[in-house]
Structures are given as structure tokens and as C-alpha cells.
Chain A
């Protein structure tokens, strides 16, 4: 007698008492537990109550016959496999086929052959256990999928908090991003600088899902934190690169394009590491100037090898910058041909209304591929008139109890320091400790930036400000700036700060002196009064934003004052 590997509960349904008794004994001898029923109805009831793992069913039974009982039992079993073996003394082919078509998994002929029965039970049990494994794995997968979706939901909620302080809703920005962009590794950040300029970053992390999203959060923190403090592009890029290099695994990195729009000077600085070409569209000439990738992505190079050199372009109000993720270029049609740069440029050429550029691109992609994609990111930024954008007020987190109101400080920054250190964010942070000055933060930063860059670039480095008159001159100017800064051996910029209470408020006096050759301040101021445009030392701006501004005769030092009233 063949023994079963594992005892099952077997239901035997046969209206013939003899057969039922005989079969029960056979099955019991094979090591299984036996339930019996004498008609189809009883078989269904016993199955429902006791849930046996295997059913031996006589085909011809009264009340409800075997076929109908089989159908109902299978329905009650649901996803689980309960093998049904029909017991039959039918010999015709048709009848046997009917057994299988009725949902039976096998049949056993009478007279019963014990050996065959044992073998069939064993085989059916194997199938039953296989099905049970499949169902179990299916349930596990469903559960894990649920966890995954939940993780992503939480990650996205956290990220939205980190990124919410951005200025993507500014009227000069249009953008298009899938709600799942985060999990495609796409990142779009924008923030105002303290002086009223704008930083914008479009990034693309390697990978998908949570690994791609996880790098976005530290990067966003660096971007927003440093921008708010007044750090420049170079410093922010260096810090983002170093951070990603440190925290991401070796094979992960972030392609990115970073823009700095300076509305006061009507220029844009561009850094592109590994992203597809961006485009600067000059509305007057309808040119599209490509903003190419000149660097490796963030997170690849060590601090020493990282290059933060930017390209500078002049713009006029109405000119636009366009950036997109590689989803656009990489869209493939059914022959696996890529959309490519040429087709994108063609869309630009044909586009009549710049406000509909995204729609034109989408239409072109859809026509090319045959269906639309939801994983492309696009952004368009417009150069606007200075001071035309409303900046949200900075929120300070302290209580206002401590405020340094009577102090002075002197700094001298010499050649080596001028090359590699930007003092402005630290100075601004210090000055922001004076609560009365906070309302003028923007003006203060702009003035400090102008004074410092004048002292450094025109003073110490001796650059000719008239170079910045046109677009080409600009590129030349910044090239020269970098070269001369690298070669700098001597020179200094001195800054002196004096804060004194005055009446119910106070006064801040800033003195800046440089080691350069100086200039004819009177002449420049006179000229500035007439001229508008790109060039100049921004003297007009400094005078506009501060309480008073004066230059020494030789032009090597400037003295600027800010005052404030007591806070209400």
C-alpha cells in the first residue's frame, strides 16, 4: 500500500453505500482523513463546512449530480485549487470528456484500482500545493507593492515640504512636470537671491523610484539654504557637488543645469553638467543660442577637480531661457528612432507664440511617438525688468530679543583670500542680526554685492567696466576676470562696518576700500545719470538703494549709509 506523504482530508461523495464504504477504507488505509456524502447537495454542504483538500465525486448522483456539485465546489474554493476526481463507471469517451469539462481534474474508473488511486491522489496534491504557493506569493507581492507605494507617498510628502519654499510660481516662470517627476529623478528648484535675482536648477538624478528621489532632498536643502544666504552660483555648485559625491553611491550622480538670472544687470549665468542643451531665445533676432553641457554631472568629481566655471549671456526683457530633461530628446518611435535635437530645434523655429512652446513640443512628441509621455520636465524663464517681481518676505526664526546695535568691525581681504572666498553671505548674516535692518535686506545685499564686486573687479583686478556693453564683451569680461583672479598675487579689499543707535533706530555705515588704481568717480556718476544699460559700476544703483553714498576723489573708497527707524 502506498503511503501518502502528508495526510489530507478527503471528501468521498457517492450515492452507492458499498462503493462509499470501500473507497473510504482504501483512502483511509492510505493515511488520509475521510468525510463522506451520499448525494450532490450533501457533498456541497460538507465541503462548505469542513473544507477538505481533495474531493472524490461520483458523477451520477441524485438531488444534485456530480457535475453540478463539482461546479459549485470549485466556486466555493475560489482561488485555491481543490482537486476533484470523478468516480465513474462510464466508458464512453464523451462521458469522460464531460467529467473534465465540468471542472473535474481527473477521473477514476470503477472497479477501483488502489494503486492508481494512490498515485492520482499524490499527483493532485502536488498541484494543490503548487497553487497554494502561487497564491501565497501573489499575496506577498501585493503586500510589498502596497508598502512601496506608501513609502513613495511619504517620501513625496516630505520632499514637498523641503521644496515648497521655492519661487516656481513666479510670473516669469512656466514649467511642466509630472507629479511623479521626483521618482523619475527629475528635480526643478527656483529661489530668489537676497538681492532680487533668481537661481533656478533643473536636475536629473540617475535611477528610478526611491533611490532617485533620495538624493533630491539634500540637494534641495543646499540650494535653498545657500541661495537665501546670498551665496553665489560657484559656491552653491561646489557645495552641491561635494555633498552628492559624499553621500551618493559611486554609480549615482545628478545631471543639472543651474541658472542665475540677474535682473539688475540683465544677464544670465549658466552652468550645465550633463543635461541636454538648454536654449536662450533672443526675441528680437529670433535666435536660439544653445546652452551646452560643459561639465560632468554633480557628484562625480572630487572637490579639487570640480569646475564651477559659468557662461554668461546678456538678455533683454522678453528674452527666454528653455530647459528640458532628456525625456524629450530620448522619446523614441516604434522604429526606435529618437526624437533628437534637430526635431526639437525645428519646433522652436516653427513656434510662433512663445507662450505655447510647451504645447508645440508636446504635440510634436505625440505625433512622433504616437502617444504622449508623462515623464518629461520642461521649464521656461523670462528675463524681466528689474524690480518687477514681487519677492516673498523672508521669515526669520528668532524671537527678536538679541540685536547688536552698537559695534564696529574691520576686514581686510588679501589676494589669496580674494581668490577663493566670498565674504558676502557671512556679512549679510551678521547684518541681519540687526532687526531694524531686516526690511532692507534686499537693498543691503545688492549694495554690498556692488561695492564688493566693484572693489574686486574694477579696483583690484583692474577690469574695464566698459567691456560689459554688449553680449560679446560680457563673455570676454568674465573670461578676463577668471584669468586675472587666478593670477592675482597682491592687492586687498578693506571693509569697515559701523553700527550706531540713532534716535529710536540706528545707522549702518559701510566703508569699502580697494588697492586698485581708482577711477574718476565724478565723471562716472555724471555719465551714469544719462546712460542705461549693461555697463557701469552700478553707482546709480548703490545711490538709489541706500540712504547716502559717496566716493573719494580717487575712486578707491566708497562710503555708504543705511538708516532705520525703531520697529513698531
Chain B
């Protein structure tokens, strides 16, 4: 089942690979993502911003958060063409998308009480 925020086919494939470590993966992603977001906000130059976006793009695509991944890709592209007037807007959209995705991941996490 696919949904524009989260690709559940990817999640079931992940579950198959990780087996009993699947919950740990979800937790790791959520923690890791907070760090990434911080990096995004704290970035002082375009290069730092681009690197943070690039990294977040990678993990979110691996975890099936396709829309989030795409937004990160857009940010990564955008920082290559200064001036960066509307960057704030894009970062905010990433924040919102992640909030949504985080809710869905927590629901998913609920299925594995431990």
C-alpha cells in the first residue's frame, strides 16, 4: 500500500531484511532525522545546507519517505543557484513533511511493542 508520504511496500521490504532489528531501524531513523533537521536549520553556508539536505535525502529515500526525499532533493538543487532568497520556505516545507512522516513512523513503531 502506498501513500504519498510513506511507501509501505518499502517498509515491508525493510521489515524482511531487518527482521527483529526492524523496530531499531525505525528508532534510529527517527533519532537520526532530528539531527539532520537541526543541521538544516543551523547551516551557515550554502555548502553545509546542501550537504545536510543530501544526507537527509539519502536516508529518507531508503526508508520510503518519498515526498520528504524529493523535498530534500529540491533543496540540494536550489542551494547551487544563489541568491537563496526563498530557501526558508523550502526548509519549512521539509519541517512539515517530516512532522507528518514522523507521526506515521510512530504508528508503525506501535506495532512492535518492546
A29, B14: Cα distance in complex, Å? 12
A110 with B62: CB separation less than 8 A: yes
A15, B32: Cα distance in complex, Å? 10
Residues from chain B with Cβ under 8 Å of A17 in the complex = 28, 31-32
Stretch at the interface among A2-10, A20-28, A434-442: A20-28
Interface residues in A72-94 (C-beta closer than 8 Å to B):
89-90
How big is the A interface, by class?
Answer: 10 to 19
B14 with A22: CB separation less than 8 A: yes
Which residue of A18, A60, A89 is within 8 Å of B25 (Cβ)?
A18
A110 with B61: CB separation less than 8 A: yes
Interface residues in B57-101 (C-beta closer than 8 Å to A):
57-59, 61-64
A21, B18: Cα distance in complex, Å? 9
Known A-B contacts A18-B62, A112-B62; A25 and B21 likewise in contact (beta carbons under 8 Å):
yes
Check A19 for interface membership: any CB of B closer than 8 A. yes
A26, B17: Cα distance in complex, Å? 6
B58 with A16: CB separation less than 8 A: yes
Residues from chain B with Cβ under 8 Å of A111 in the complex = 10, 61-62, 64
Which residue of A16, A26, A90 is within 8 Å of B59 (Cβ)?
A16
Check A453 for interface membership: any CB of B closer than 8 A. no
Residue of A nearest to B25 (CB): A21
Enumerate chain A interface residues (CB-CB to B < 8 A).
Answer: 15-19, 21-22, 25-26, 29, 58, 60, 89-90, 110-112, 114
Q: Add 13 more A-B contacts to A60-B55, A111-B61 (CB < 8 A).
A: A18-B28, A18-B29, A18-B59, A19-B62, A21-B24, A21-B28, A25-B17, A25-B18, A26-B17, A89-B58, A89-B61, A90-B54, A114-B17
B24 with A18: CB separation less than 8 A: no
Sample of 26 A–B contacts (CB below 8 Å) = A15-B55, A16-B58, A16-B59, A17-B31, A17-B32, A18-B29, A18-B59, A18-B63, A19-B59, A19-B62, A21-B21, A21-B25, A21-B28, A22-B17, A22-B18, A25-B19, A25-B25, A29-B17, A58-B58, A89-B54, A110-B58, A110-B62, A111-B10, A111-B61, A111-B62, A114-B13
Enumerate chain B interface residues (CB-CB to A < 8 A).
Answer: 10, 13-14, 17-19, 21, 24-25, 28-29, 31-33, 51, 54-55, 57-59, 61-64
Residue of B nearest to A23 (CB): B62
Q: Which of B17, B18, B63 has the most CB of A within 10 A?
A: B17
Interface of B: prevailing SS: helix
A90, B24: Cα distance in complex, Å? 27
B55 with A16: CB separation less than 8 A: yes
A90, B77: Cα distance in complex, Å? 11
Residues from chain B with Cβ under 8 Å of A110 in the complex = 57-58, 61-62
Residue of B nearest to A91 (CB): B73
A18, B25: Cα distance in complex, Å? 7
B17 with A18: CB separation less than 8 A: no
Residues from chain A with Cβ under 8 Å of B10 in the complex = 111
Residues from chain B with Cβ under 8 Å of A114 in the complex = 13, 17
B14 with A16: CB separation less than 8 A: no
Residue of A nearest to B55 (CB): A16
Residues from chain A with Cβ under 8 Å of B19 in the complex = 25
